[in-house]
Amino acid sequence: MTTAVQGLSSLLELLGQLSRSSEPALRGLFDAAEPLLVARAPGRLDVMGGFADYSGSLVLELPIREAAFVAVQRRSEPWVEIVSEGIGPGAGPRRHARFALGELQRCTQSYALAREYFQEDARQAWAAYALGALVALRVEQGCELRGGLSVLVASSVPEGKGVSSSASLEVASLTALAGVQGISIDPLRAALLCQRVENLVAGAPCGVMDQMTSSCGSEGQLLPIVCQPAELQPGFPLPPTLALWGIDSGTRHEVSGADYGQVRVAAFMGYRWLAEARGLRARATGSEGLVAIDDPDWDGYLARVPRAEFEQNYRQLLPERCLGADFLDRFAGITDPITRVRRDVEYRVRAATEHPVYEHARASEFRELLQRPELGAGLEPPRSLLERLGSLLYEAHASYSACGLGSAGTDRLVELVRELGPGRGLYGAKITGGGSGGTVAVLGRAASGPDVQAVLQRYARETGRVPQLFAGSSPGAAAFGVRQLRHGTGGWQLEPAEGSAR
């Protein structure tokens, strides 16, 4: 918990700045006579699994040190006011929005109404990631918004870097807003609700691994999740001889971007092909472009298809590319409720389909290798084992590129890691998350921090970009809980957690 509580200093500093602001709305955001409820949720480094989560893959995720704090207080005025500010390296601009209470009470009746409402004004669309939690709380938990709120977001998770700034904001917001309404939500359920916020309110077709890591993660442990749809498995620490880092490529990652969405659609197109080859029956759902398949063997998840069976029976049936119109004329639709096939888009069906089949196998082997006794404390790991771990990362990176989710910046970072290689204690690297830019995960010896810095420096010289380094870990939102701040002579201060010494 120490790491999480230490990060509060930036929030407290921001609260002090707001109280001295020349803008009355910011200066009066919070009433110093009343307590604030605060939640915290970290970003994540995707180590293995990546975007195959929506196809049911095993993923291995590490909660990072950077996190979003959300502070909430009830207010008597009939509106919800929200201020957001990035803190730390790469901090974004301050954002400020005010929403009439009556309008929010109306739009939070359904996800569809909320999505339409937040998209009406592009300048306020960012607030959907935070206030979308109000929709989930009402629709799923029966907690209707009864009065005004003041909300402050202070996040050190940089946007567009592929380390899940959106999930950390969603999880921290849901946790804090639930707290102010007097309820506590199971961490796994909280993650699933936050995924619905991102899918149905913000309109981004993400899987669930980001929200689960942000909600359920433990400091210093890899979190295994089987995304079928959301099975948490026991976390485990990285062997003491090894370390993981994230290096920002400086190329902006967008989970809602066309590339990610197209690859997701292509994977579900491929599943439809496999289902037909297996003789599985498809039926109409009443929604255009959406079908349902009775699938007792794979339950709709490509990751359940054994790799050997895929290669022997199905791979050659898949077209490398397919125009959406041709697919729809043959199959009518896909089983993904979040996306739809576009008739005018050509999709990379084979690569997008084989990625989750192979990635699930890679992630499973990666986990098994990391837990080998040869990597225990005080032991010199076999070089062959370390190089196999690295090769799994490189294979995953190549698969991203085959799907169309690579980028020049992330490719160059991986090349630089490969050039230094095992001789310098760097074993492998891969693009992370939704791809198309963002962050590269690097595996190396715990003592290889200077070599990782050498990669950063060379990349900066070549590109003119100053990459951010992600190192270290912190606990998920469930471990932090909902804490209380009170205003005293020295400003806002954290009250001790229940049961701690005062």
Q: Which two tokens stand for residue 47?
A: 């180590």
What is d(CA 14, CA 46) in angstroms, rounded to the nearest whole number? 29
Residues 377, 240 contacting (CB under 8 angstroms) = yes
Rounded-to-integer distance, Cα 59 and Cα 293, Å: 25
DSSP letter for 15, please. H
Note the helical H segments in 298-407: 307-309, 324-331, 349-370, 383-403
Q: Report the candidate in 12, 2, 473 with the shortest Cα–Cα distance to residue 246.
A: 473
Please state, in angstroms and rounded to a whole number, the distance separating the CA atoms of residues 447 and 399: 29
Catalytic (active site) residue 210: yes
Instruction: List, in order, residues 6 or more apart from 74 with CB less than 8 Å away.
Output: 34, 147, 148, 149, 150, 180
Q: HSE of 92 in the Cβ direction (CA atoms, 13 Å)? A: 17
What are the Cα distances from residue 417, in Å, to 9, 364, 394, 422, 452?
34, 23, 10, 9, 8
Contact 436, 253 (CB under 8 A): yes
Place of tokens 């804090």: 176
Task: Find the catalytic residue in 210, 248, 259, 295.
Answer: 210
Give the active site residues.
Answer: 210
